[in-house]
């Protein structure tokens, strides 16, 4: 129960923070900088606008993928060990899919252009990336100890 509570709070917190920041930019906030512009962009695709050609189907494909991730997390018992990163991952994913249903594209706002133009991204993207990094560190550097039977 404790792990579900951690998972749910991280998921909910990530989603709420993400949507509130996005609303600031949807309402018109803009700030130009030397290396980073904070400006509204709608991304109809995924990272680097890939799969944009899928149009309105992309939101449904991503919703199904989130459902599969949730099924695996709960069915295989991963929540016990990975509650925090799973909450970040699912919260960020839900934030971006929600955008697709409401805004017809993901609301991005951090545009990096220092020396080269990088992808435009948002808080949900950072949460997803952070979740993947935490999962990789936990899996490869702190593997689960196998139980020995006597």
Q: Which residues are catalytic?
A: 108, 125
What does the alpha-carbon distance between residue 19 and residue 61 come to, in Å, rounded to a whole number?
21
What does the alpha-carbon distance between residue 144 and residue 146 come to, in Å, rounded to a whole number?
6
Residue 2 CA, distance from chain mean position? 23
Smallest CA-to-CA distance from 45 within 61, 58, 32 is with 58
What does the alpha-carbon distance between residue 14 and residue 87 come to, in Å, rounded to a whole number?
8
**Burial call 106-120: b when 16+ CB within 10 Å, e when fewer:** bbbbbbeeeeeeeeb
């Amino acid at each position: 129960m404790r792990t579900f509570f951690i998972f749910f709070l991280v998921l909910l917190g990530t989603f709420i923070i993400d949507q509130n920041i996005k609303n600031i930019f949807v309402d018109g906030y803009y700030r130009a900088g030397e290396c980073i512009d904070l400006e509204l962009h709608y991304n109809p695709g995924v990272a680097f606008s890939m799969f944009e050609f899928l149009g309105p189907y992309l939101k449904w494909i991503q919703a199904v993928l989130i459902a599969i991730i949730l099924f695996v997390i709960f069915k295989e018992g991963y929540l016990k060990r990975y509650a925090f990163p799973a909450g970040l991952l699912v919260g960020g994913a839900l934030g971006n899919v929600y955008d697709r249903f409401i805004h017809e594209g993901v609301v991005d706002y951090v545009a990096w252009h220092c020396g080269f133009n990088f992808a435009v991204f948002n808080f949900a993207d950072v949460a997803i990336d952070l979740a993947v990094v935490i999962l990789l560190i936990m899996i490869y550097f702190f593997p689960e100890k196998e139980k020995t039977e006597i």
